[in-house]
Structure 1
Amino acid sequence: MRIQIGVGDLAMFVHRRGDIDDRSEEQATAREGIATQRAYQQRQKLEMPSYDAEVRVARDFAYETIDLRVSGRIDGVAILDELHEKRLVIEEIKTTRKNPNSIPLCDRSVHEAQVRLYAGMFEHEETVDCVETRLTYVHPDTNATTTVETEESIEELDSYFEATARNYCEWLHDVCTRIEGRNASAAKQMFPFETYNESQLPLARAGYVSLRDETNLLFEAPTGTGKTIAATFPAVKAIGEGDLDRVVYATARTTGQRAAASAFSLLQKANADLIHVTVSAKERVCLTPGAACRPDECEYAKGHYDRVRDATKMLLRKGSVDRAAIDAIAKTKKVCPFELSLDVAEWSDAVICDYNYVFDPLVQLSRLQSRLFKRVGLLVDEAHRLTERVRDMLSCAFDLEVFDEAVAQVDDPSLARLLQPIQNSFTQNFEALLASPGEIAVDEFDSDLKTAVDRLFDADAVRLLTAAAHDAVNACLFELMRLRTIHAIRDDNPAKFVWLLNRSESSRTLTLRCLLPDAWIRETTASYHGSIRFSGTMSPGELFNEEHGLTGPIKQVELTPDKRRLSVFVVPNISTYWSDRAQTAPALAQLITQIQHAAKGSWLIAFPSFAYLELVAAQLAESNDVLVQKTQMNLEEREEFLSRLALDERTLAFVVMGGVFTESIDIEQSALEGVVVVSPGLPPQSLERERLKALSPFGYEIAYRRPAMTRVVQAAGRVVRSETDRGVVVLIDPRYTRSEFTRYFPSHWAPQIVKSADLVPELQAFQKSVRH
């Protein structure tokens, strides 16, 4: 196998030592580094006529089945012909504002390895008596230099290169041997159950073809039909057939991550060489919450690079790498669990992670595609959430009062000077555009703002994020970094972004909002070797393809509606239009009470807003069987809410669509009789949605109807979440009978239109059919 690697990457993999230190990044931009290095090289050429800059080198190394080619460019080479000897000089140049004597070992060890590897790779035509390696640090402002010189023999440097290359090749050989076993098992891998159900087989077939042919499949199948295993199985088969090297499973929820891990663990039973890892958010896995990533604050940062290779090897041997496994090894080996999970992901066959590690431009994982894992398939679970999540990733917001307070807290005078033009831009342009309370949308806010933000980060790059001692300052700097990133993406599609200014009597908020992230989703997905986007809520598929900026096959599970398993009733004679709500609230409350008494079990009653929920709940104020979701509920309150819903018979749980109880939590099915969805709940008209509506022929659908109906279908999906569940969905509003709304209904629904007076007999008939 032919493998190519750069000198820097090889040095980092084999020789990096020391601590994680969030202050260790080079305090000079790439632009400064190039300019400083060129100027220094020119000075060296004046002093040493034989000095050559940017000398390309490459060297091959063979080990077992690995043919390794190491390549790079030496910053400086010279042959010094002195009185008694001829000396070869190999120089590596680093630009930094730090005191060279205080550069952390995690950086210095890599720098030292680089120059020694270059010296071992350089083929010199002239006979030399010795080799001098020079590691030179140059200050970009003063041009002051500090040089570390070391003299070694040609034989010593040759041995150093070979030992380094062998170390890397031994690791690669072990990985390649495992991959061969993985592929052999995956090629003959069978579906882990005796039979496919009627939804799994179409998904598995279409999914394999999509990953093989590098297309983008959109697939809808109901909750509880085994979508996860039906998506992961063809991905593993594609690996076995040589079509993929790795699969990334992106999901919006931790429950989705657990389901994916369970599916890969199931597949692993027939393929011991298959490795999967779950990458969790850094703040969730941190073992020293609140501490900075520095050796003086975190014991797991201290000496991390001395031990992380052994820790990685231990986890790769386990095969199934979840958060518990990562925590256990991190504690045992005293390494950072988050960085450990990233190292394991680099060598794993399946990486399970949140959407942001794939689509967020600030935290995308570059290691998902690597030398041995170039062709990576992408699985996107809960894909109905993708547009909203990516839209948020490409948006940023500033509370100007908070920003002003943060700037006032800055201790570093140079940082304060760099923030001042940004603060002035925010304040002056906001006042000029919106002097009194209200909200406006503008295409451009200030053409000079981008320059000011660029100057901020070009001046000191990442150092700014660690120079600030206050959380508020760091938060503002991070949001400014996101603004800078969004600016670069926005330049390609300015019409799909808008500035929103909102002013009240006490606050001013400035937001750069992404309206439609289709181009970014398309660009990101294009870096993968095919994708499968799947959910129980993907109708109509053409609309989701439009939102995602993708083309490709659209598949829906063709299930025969089974009214004995799921009955869907539409009650059209109670209007839930906003203007009718106060008038129809008593009739709606009466119908809900009738539903409660007609069927044994609890009911989820989903409303489009808290205001509407409270309006109807007030009609049932004397009932002891009504649970009401509050606007802010902590984890303990949520668990108590779910516990009462599961344990108390005939409980009515009033919840809001789009919230935690209708999308993010699985409810105990044995206690849940059904879901009542009150109103489609179209979002109110807004500046943002009106701008979005104008962007596409599907604008109204994307801006208003699709988000509303996605929440409706998701709320209804809380009932019947497995093949053995039975339940009822009641949709209340006349709009549920109109085609422009019913086109969003899942294909396995068979809605029955009934008047409110006839609903109870229908519910009783359903219960009777379930008992028999």
Structure 2
Amino acid sequence: MATVHLPIRQLVEFLLRTGSIDSRFTGFDRALEGAHIHRKLQKAAGDGYQAEVFLSAERQAEGITFTLEGRADGIFTDETGTVVIDEIKTTAVPPEEITEDMNPCHWAQGMVYGAIYAAQQSLPELNVRLTYYQIDTDQIIRFIRRFTQQELDEFLDKLLCQYAPWAQRRIEWDVKRTQSLAALQFPFAQYRPGQRAMAGEIYRACRAGKTADCKGGTRLFCQAPTGIGKTMSALFPALKAMGEGNGEKLFYLTARNTTQTAAEDALTRLHTAQPELALRSVTLTAKEKVCLHPDAEGHPACLPELCPYANGYYDRIKDALTALLDGTGSFDRAALAGAAKRFSVCPFELGLDLSEWCDVVIGDYNYLFDPVVHLKRFFDSSGDWLFLVDEAHNLPDRARAMYSARFCKSSLTEAKRALGKGKSALKTALTKADKALLEARKACIQLAPRHSSQTDAADPAQASLLPENTAPALELPEPLYAQDSTVFLQEPPSALLSPLRAVQAPLQDWLEANPDAEVHAQLLELYFAVQDIARAAERYDSHFVTQLTARGRELELQLLCLDPAPFVDASLAAGRSAALFSATLAPPSFYRSVLGCSDARAVALDSPFPAENLGLYCLPNISTRYRDREASVQAVSDALARLVQARTGNYFAFFPSYAYLRQVHEDFAARYPGIRTLVQESRLDDAARAEFLAQFVPDPAETLLGFGVMGGIFGEGVDLAGSRLIGCAIVGVGLPQVNPQQEMLRRYYDAQNGFGFDYAYRYPGMNKVLQAAGRVIRTPEDRGAVLLLDDRFAQQEYIRLFPPHWRHIRYLRSCEELAAALQDFWNK
């Protein structure tokens, strides 16, 4: 008899949920997290109340064994001795509209828990209680119904019989998929050098899964050279492991859209090579990018009266799924948009619902790691998931940003101004919060110069922001560290967070009451900013600091996650195994530490490409340190000219900042006007990016030198193979800009392990250098030159971070020596 694992909530919502998507009741979360309210009510219930009771059972229906699992919010015995199953729901529905029959799913969930518990405890009857917590008014509204064990069993059996055709569809697909993956062949005639080694490592990690020693799942860091075909080297072995029963679903997680496309292309190639391959995939894209019916400001309009794709969504989704699951099985952004129009359903929600029926889910890091938008349907509990994390060198900074939050005082001032004259509960709350941040700004200005780590005297302009003899009413704790007008605190400032939290309720009331107001988008943005800061405060612990920065009339409040390790670790523990791969994951101790993978296996594969195909040179007589940049401009220009004059072709020069880039470009264009240049502008959209790269044509008739920034959109994830790019220059060692935040990061890791400068500056900088240099050699046939411009590249602290295939680097003393070396390289 076939077995299907089925979460109880998924069973109930799939069968019984009806109606429309409505952001008024689902998009807002004024209580921050439903779990927070649950804990509050559970704690208030007293000692006899069992909270979060895990229940599981096996039931048969229509020849299928269902393994049901879920957590009852509460179980207790009332004063009459009757057992009660408590189902807690937070809601923004107005109190007068909360009725006993408001949502059949809520009763059904409690009744399924009741059926399981009654059978296990041999109870002839029990009560199911619905507890609604109204988040606007803090009202608690309860409804109770009594059921016999027979009634509960019959109800559950009826649900399972309804679900059985869908379960049978899943069973048949799983058999077909397993057989298909068992026969899966590598889609190329042979492996590229290095591909087999990488595939073997990932295959073994996926097979190992969770063990007594790896309860959080097997973790693998794989540093693999650019150009060996990492995407296929990761996907193919993971799919083979799935075909052997090692993994139920594969999540391919990326930092940018270009790598999502690479994963889609790899799957297409597998389908092309094996047309009978039974494999479904879906690519998840942010709601604002795929919305078919945005409002005037470009935001998703998730209201049934405004959006035909939201209106009646749950009444149509099963018909859409029935049709789509019989189709090709590849659902990228374009396919989802087409299906959404065909069935009049929201493309974003369609993608999420399809993900439960797909074998491969492609999406951004945030679908696993972000505490707000992660896929709760999969990751609120652990499962037999395989995680492939592409370009994993991006994850530390991305993870820090996901767990941090930022809020500016000016958003309160502007909101008050936007509301105009007159009194209201919202204006009162905004005024109180604005006053608290004003007082904090005064305290910040007073504290920062007094505790500044700078040797220079405090800036008189900063000191003059606060009138003499004016003491702020708000007292801040003693700073951990202060520089200029920035103060860091160990604890979150409750004197600021409390008035900000108090803004949420009246702000949502206003947003719901004034959906057509001209300033609705502005106040909605404020709502989400307040929500983010409040959420970050909920998870604030010793891995965070508070940053307060005063600039003129502005105060910026940030709750900064310095160390994302425990959060990333917890996210990865939701799966069976995780392979994190990139061309640059050195040193492995750094990534193990910042990503919470202390026991992870780390492998570094040698470059399979002939070393003689890469001409690697350094001019160590140039300093690009910030203090030396003005003096270095002409020397850098001359070195770039020698690089590109050696051979006609396309080149890139990568800089540590836009300001330095513009300085050098201005000098270069003036002194070498015969060389065509192209300059990267900040904030390029996808179309402008594509237009920029289109200039790098194969075998060009004239030389082109592109000016870009390290760590930017052209510094990694760009594949200009063959003659589309034959050389690049790396100007500087890529260190992040020195600022109070980076200094706080340095101090944190100095206290943790004594490697503060490495963790905050050197390792991230060299990562950008290696990524940029990796743009040149993309295939075994490529030849190209890389020029390093900075004296620090000759220091042991940096040389030890070079990859093995850089052993043949040549240090040169002048541009004349460089020209001769390049001529020799190209003549070979």
TM-score, normalised to structure 2, is 0.79
- Secondary structure at the aligned position of 2:164 is classed as helix
**Residue 279 of structure 2: aligned partner:** 274
Which secondary structure state, in structure 1, belongs to the residue aligned with residue 636 of structure 2? helix
Q: How does 1:314-325 map to 2 (within 5 A)?
A: 314-317=323-326, 318-325=328-335
Cα distance between partner residues in 2 of 1:338 and 1:467: 26
* Residue in structure 1 matched with residue 443 of structure 2 by the alignment: 432
In 2: Cα distance, 1:763 partner to 1:280 partner: 45
1:132 and 1:518 mapped to 2: Cα distance? 43
Q: Distance in 2 between matches of 1:579 and 1:525?
A: 42
Distance 1:592 1:683 in 2: 23
Match of residue 779, structure 2, among 718, 722, 730? 722
**Residue correspondence of structure 1 range 647-662 to structure 2 within 5 A:** 649-662=702-715
Matched, 1:190 2:194: no
Q: Does 1:712 align with 2:769?
A: yes
Match of 2:343 among 333, 338, 356: 333
Change (3 A) 1:742 1:407: farther
Q: Identity rate of aligned residues, in percent? A: 33
Quote how far apart the aligned CAs of 1:280 are. 1.0
Q: Secondary structure at the match of 2:805?
A: coil
Task: Please tell me the residue identity of whatever aligns with 1:708.
Answer: G
Conserved? CA contact 1:61–1:69, under 8 Å: no
Q: How many Å apart are 1:701 and its aligned residue? A: 0.8
C-alpha contact 1:387 1:517 (8 A) present in aligned 2: yes
Deviations 1:730-770 (A, max 9, x none): 1112221222112232332332223321222322233233x
Task: Look up the match of 1:367.
Answer: 377
Change (3 A) 1:265 1:234: same
2:607 to 559, 564, 569: 559
Once residues 328 and 9 of structure 1 are traced to their aligned partners in structure 2, the CA distance between those partners, rounded to angstroms, is 26
Task: Point out the more displaced range, 193-202 or 642-651.
Answer: 642-651
CA distance, structure 2, for counterparts of residue 374 and residue 231 of structure 1: 20
What's the secondary structure of 2:786's corresponding residue?
A: strand
The yes-or-no answer on 1:764 pairing with 2:785 is no
How has the CA–CA distance of structure 1 residues 181 and 288 changed in structure 2, closer, same or farther, with 3 Å as cutoff?
A: same
Q: Does 1:295 align with 2:308?
A: no
In structure 2, the residue matched to 1:751 is: 809
1:502-555 superposed Cα distances (whole Å, 9 cap, x missing partner): 233353322222222222222222222221111111122222222222122111
Kept in 2: contact 1:250–1:353 (CA 8 A): yes
The residue identity in structure 2 corresponding to 1:605 is A
CA distance in 1, matches of 2:104, 2:13: 8
Distance 1:507 1:39 in 2: 41
TM-score by length of 1: 0.84
User: Which position in structure 2 is the counterpart of 1:513?
Assistant: 560
Map 1:636-715 to 2 at 5 A: 637-646=688-697, 649-667=702-720, 669-694=722-747, 695=749, 696-715=753-772
Change (3 A) 1:481 1:414: same
In the alignment, structure 1 residue 284 sits paired with structure 2 residue 334: no
1:606 and 1:675 in contact (8 A); partners too:
yes
Give the match for residue 487 of structure 2: 441
2:642 corresponding residue in structure 1 = 594
- Residues 320-368 of structure 1 show CA distances to partners (whole Å, capped at 9, x for unaligned) of 2211211111110110111111111122222111011111111111223
Between 1:468-477 and 1:294-303, the stretch displaced more is 468-477
Where 1:24 maps in the other structure, the secondary structure is helix
Tell me the SS of whatever aligns to 1:660: coil
Tell me whether 267-276 or 67-76 shows the greater mean CA deviation: 67-76
Letter in 2 for 1:606: F
Check conservation: 1:75, 1:91, Cα contact below 8 A: yes
Please name the residue that 2:224 is paired with. 221
Contact 2:86–2:130 at 8 Å: present in 1 too?
A: yes
The one-letter code sitting in structure 2 at the alignment partner of 1:24 is: F
Change (3 A) 1:179 1:418: farther
Between the aligned partners of 2:73 and 2:745, the Cα distance in structure 1 is 49
CA change 1:65–1:502 in 2 (3 A) is same
What letter is aligned with 2:561? C
Q: 1:533 to 1:674 in 2, by over 3 A?
A: same
Provide the residue aligned with 1:21 in structure 2.
22
Q: Does 1:379 align with 2:388?
A: yes
Q: Single out whichever of 473-482 and 346-355 deviates more from structure 2.
A: 473-482
Give the aligned partner of residue 171 of structure 2.
176
Moved more, 378-387 or 687-696: 687-696
Compute the displacement of 1:637 (Å). 4.5
Query: Which deviations, in whole Å up to 9, do the C-alpha atoms of 1:400-435 show, x marking residues without a partner?
Result: 112322255469945555555543432222221225
Q: 1:445: how far off?
A: 5.3
- Counterparts of residues 198-237 of structure 1 (less than 5 Å): 198-213=193-208, 214-237=217-240
Contact 2:412 2:430 in 1 (8 A): no
> Counterparts in 2 of 1:382-531, with a 5 A limit?
382-407=391-416, 409=418, 413-416=424-427, 419=430, 421-434=432-445, 436=462, 438-443=484-489, 444=491, 446-452=493-499, 469=515, 470-491=520-541, 494=542, 496-531=543-578
Please give the residue correspondences for 1:4-19 in structure 2 after superposition, counting only pairs within 5 Å.
Answer: 8-19=9-20
Shift of residue 261, structure 1, vs aligned partner: 1.9
Q: CA deviation at 1:586?
A: 2.3
Partner of 1:86: none
CA-CA distance at 1:481 after TM superposition:
2.3
CA distance in 1, matches of 2:402, 2:439: 27
The superposition leaves residues 282-311 of structure 1 with CA deviations (integer Å, 9 ceiling, x where unpaired) of 111111123420111111101111111222
Q: Is the 8 A contact 1:574 1:734 kept in 2?
A: yes
Give the structure 2 partner of residue 736 of structure 1: 793
Deviations 1:71-130 (A, max 9, x none): 86999999xxxxxxxxxx9998977563578579996353475688799998999999xx
List runs of 5+ in structure 1 lacking aligned partners.
41-53, 79-88
* C-alpha RMSD over aligned residues: 4.2
Report if aligned partners of 2:251, 2:385 keep a CA contact under 8 Å in 1. yes
